[in-house]
A = this chain, B = another copy of it.
């Protein structure tokens, strides 16, 4: 039986995301206290894969995921998942909304439910917790001083709580993205709606470096869907870039762009090609399809041999 690690504890959005993946169906799901621990378990082979947040998380730290993937023993992403971040107010059975005076939750969750809280329970006070799941767990203790927790609906199931209000977040578009990583392996087959994730380390931090990187991509018609500059941990004022590209490493435009990046960067760390969770197909502009690349190669070959094509 397969084992898949994830950022715990039980009842987090990460667990909810993991349950949307086919890989989780007949696997043993193992929670880890931190992103680092989950990734180390994948590196060590204690689990076959691990799911961690990569973007816009209300749990764990996305920066930490990025930095962990960019250094240490290599890992590659083989799948991604996303869940709508829907917050629920939950309490021990018997508690009603009117009873709620003291709430606990993670500060991000608190920030995202401010409007609802101000209207529905204007007199309640909110105390920070380590995670939304930890808040639910705390409230599930009959001796707890807290009346309610703000957490994912899945946490109510896990900790035997009743949901007093669903969908209390201010932003109905909030979505968190997670990636399933494993030890290096050939990428899953291209689906046509794929992403490729890279960490790009530049030679010195010269002003034009990022423009240079973006130009390598745009010349081959490769679009970015995420870009972050992150300080390297080796030297002050030194940055690397974490990027997601539209397309699969086996596609010509992605391959040529990656070769270009390899030539201009100090180091390119490949973090995998994998299907998008939303199946959104990329816009591929004129001239950068695999057929266009193949035509251009035949043309050049003829010219080199005969001076005409």
Contacts and interface: CB of A to CB of B under 8 A. Distances in A.
Interface of A: 33-36, 55-56, 60-64, 68, 74, 76, 107-108, 110-111, 114, 127-130, 171, 173-175, 184-187, 203, 207-208, 210-211, 214-216, 218-219, 223-231, 233-237, 239, 249-250, 255-256, 258-260, 262-264, 270, 272, 280, 283, 286-288, 292-293, 295-297, 299-300, 303-309
A287 B264 contact: yes
B33 A297 contact: no
A231 B236 CA distance: 27
Question: Top 3 closest A-B pairs, CB basis?
Answer: A184-B308, A259-B296, A184-B307
Nearest to A227: B229
A208 B218 contact: yes
A224 B224 CA distance: 19
A248 to B, nearest CB: 10
Contact of A219 (B76, B216, B235): B216
B233 A296 contact: no
Contacts of A308: 74, 76, 184, 270
B63 A283 contact: no
A222 to B, nearest CB: 9
Kindly report how many copies of this chain are found in the complex they form together. 4
Contacts of A203: 286
The prevalent SS among residues of A at the interface is mixed
Contacts of A258: 296, 300, 303
Contact of A299 (B262, B293, B305): B262
Contact of A55 (B127, B231, B260): B231
A199 to B, nearest CB: 13
A110 B68 CA distance: 13
B34 A283 contact: no
B228 A173 contact: no
B299 A259 contact: yes
A184 to B, nearest CB: 4
B211 A218 contact: yes
12 contacts: A35-B111, A64-B111, A76-B308, A129-B130, A175-B236, A185-B306, A187-B304, A211-B211, A228-B229, A250-B304, A262-B296, A263-B288
B110 A36 contact: yes
Given A61-B61, A173-B234, A263-B296, 8 more contacts: A61-B107, A173-B233, A174-B233, A184-B306, A203-B286, A210-B224, A226-B229, A259-B293
